[in-house]
Amino acid sequence: MAVSNSSKKLLFSLLCFISIVGFKLKLTASSATCCSNLRAILPPPYSDLSSLTCSLIWQQKFSFRFFQDRENVTTIVLSGKHDHKWIGIGFSRNGRMVGSSAVVAWVERDGVSGLRQYHLEGKNMSRVIPNKGDLRFTTASPVVVVHGDLLYIGFQLQFPTSLAYQPILLAIGSANPLPNGLLPKHINSTTTYIEFSSAHQKTQPMEPNDLRRYHGMTAIIGWGVVTPAGLLVARYFRHMEPSWYYIHSSVQFVGFFVGIISISIGRNLYQRIGAVFLAHKFIGYTVFFLAGLEVCQFVGRPSSDSKRRQCWNFAHYWVGRIAMVMGVMNIFVGFHGVAANDWTLRTGFGISFVTLLIAVIVLEALRRRENALQESIVDQPPVFQVIDKR
């Protein structure tokens, strides 16, 4: 009975952990503002944008103002927090970095500012070519101004046609450009969409960085926490008849549907950024197929006295275990690609993984101890012997 009570307490603790597990996304305080009076900060023609619509973009870290005239001349003012690192704004035809042209601005610690165009021919530093690109600057001189803790970047471009629904790349560098013009790798980036044909911003439903976080978060909850927890219920709590079966089935269904959400977000992310991450994608679809097969097996579960029950048990056990192992493995694979820089997800998954691992060790020890105790009782000789005097 002591073992049973301990098991119940562990199950209760495990279910409480699953119910409250979640990951809080890091909220970045708004460092950009649309209340700035550009007339007091920037020279013409950039100061003339004060009365135009201003949009806070990229998790409200940057403010974006623009004006496009009838001759396809576009004036842009971008402002964000100044931390002595380069800030880049790129123009892309398809929303991807490679093949786009970008305007990069920075301010040295001695107050000297710089602004340069780059052509992004590849993802390596050597493939980001300085003083090259498809953007045509007008005769209006670009400006880079530090005002308070904000960096204001103003420039004017001449386009061959009017801009409409335009993908805009934003990035923050790890350091200022080198003396030879080479650009140190960015530490964060995103893609947003600006509707230049009207004076407002139109963003996609979710930015790539947000998609990465939600994809990783749902994958960790579905495949890395809930599904393994359901397997623990089936292995270590069968003595709780018939509750263990209903708990096991419910937990696995929750994990499966959260996993479906993760795959859906992942597909959207792949299409958005054009990612080529075949290993992660292949393993993810394999896990989805195996989990779907488990659901089908649940629907077609034969009765306990059926001749097919032994074969069903074998298939159910091993398909479930393979799906769980591959799901957890794919989370580790994802940390080297889709969510490579998100330490919040890494920490959250590490805590949940270690917790489940400890639960497995404790429950397995209790299980083996109980089995050994039962075997020792069976092997003991009877206390009383019956003597037949006939």
Tens of pLDDT along the chain (390 residues)?
444 455 454 445 545 544 444 433 333 334 566 778 888 899 988 988 776 778 888 877 888 999 888 899 999 999 988 877 899 999 988 778 888 999 999 988 888 889 999 999 988 888 899 999 999 999 999 999 998 888 999 999 999 998 888 888 998 888 888 888 888 888 888 888 888 876 444 444 456 677 788 888 899 999 889 988 888 888 888 888 888 888 888 888 899 899 999 988 888 777 666 666 788 888 989 998 988 888 887 777 787 778 888 888 888 888 888 988 899 898 888 887 654 456 788 888 889 889 988 988 988 888 888 877 776 665 566 555 556 555
Residue 341 contacts residue 190 (beta carbons within 8 Å):
no
Q: Which two tokens stand for residue 346?
A: 């890494």
Residue 305 gets which letter from DSSP? T
Give me 113's structure tokens.
């500012």
Whole-angstrom distance, CA of residue 326 vs CA of residue 333 = 10
CA distance 118 to 136: 12
Query: How many of the other CB atoms lie within 10 Å of CB of 269?
Result: 22
For residue 124, the one-letter residue type is: N
* Sequence-distant (≥ 6) Cβ neighbours of residue 269 within 8 angstroms: 208, 211, 212, 215, 275, 338
Phi/psi region, residue 352 (left: phi>0; alpha: psi -120 to 50; beta: rest), is alpha
Q: What is the DSSP letter of 223?
A: I
Using CB atoms within 10 Å of the CB of residue 199, give its burial: 0 to 12 exposed, 13 to 18 middle, 19+ buried.
middle
Quote the CA–CA distance of 85 and 183 in Å, as a whole number. Answer: 11
Neighbours of 191 (CB within 10 A): 22
